[in-house]
Amino acid sequence: MRIILALDIIGGKCVRLTRGDFSTKKIYNEDPLEVALEIEDNGLSYLHLVDLDGARNKKVENLRILEKIAVRTKLKIDFGGGIRTSEDIASVFNAGAVQVTAGSIAVREPDTFTEWLDKFGNEKLILGADAIDGKISASGWLETSDKDLISFLSDYASKGVKYTVCTDISRDGMLSGPSTALYKEILESVKINLIASGGITTPDDVIALHETGCEGAIIGKAFYEGRLTLKQLGTLC
């Protein structure tokens, strides 16, 4: 299973939010590159880089940070936040990302997302599926739709989506454990490579997600708060 470190950006700094609430912003490092280098130095390979400014403002804002990390490290970066056009995706790939996560556009403009899937391929495009109480959210979790999570995933899997990052917003940043039962339900219903996100706090959480069948796990606050070390995570890859 892939162990993927989350690096969320606001104002050029590495931050974390709790349950997607921008008022809970906590700065962990003024220099995201420093965090990325630490991750690489500990033998980990994957980075989930989220442009929270972009998600809120509906346009990519932190491309330079992506470029800097891609040039200075060999991390395999997936990038999300603020992507609205094919040109945005192309610029993100040109800046060094190997995958793009897109969620809001898949909620609002499914035809556009499907066009991207055809154009860039299902190895490059990850479906962002952020949900609360089983309903899909968008715009950096500022908006909740009436779309059922499992139906949403099933529909896109039938259109060729291979990967999804699924975040249970109620667990995000809470350090209360992941929604393992939810992920099990998804994998019993949908044939898709599921990357779990939200609430992962202990090595046992990661092991449980692996046993459930998740393809990857995104670790955020537990790392930044010292609950899971990079050395521990390296042994779980």
Q: Just list the catalytic residues.
A: 8, 130
**Residue 218 parent element (H or E):** strand 216-219
* 65 secondary structure, DSSP code: H
CA 106, 111, 112, 117 torsion-angle sign:
positive
Query: Is residue 18 classed as helix, strand or coil in its secondary structure?
Result: strand
- The CA distance from 212 to 208, in Å, is 6
Query: Is residue 190 classed as helix, strand or coil in its secondary structure?
Result: coil
> Residue 65: exposed, middle, or buried by beta-carbon count in 10 A (0-12, 13-18, 19+)?
buried
In the numeric block, the tokens 């804002």 are attached to 61
Contacts with 38 (C-beta within 8 Å, 6 or more apart), sequence order: 230
**Residue 154 parent element (H or E):** helix 149-158
Query: Which pair of structure tokens corresponds to residue 169?
Result: 């917003």
Best CA proximity match to 8, nearest among 79, 105, 57: 79
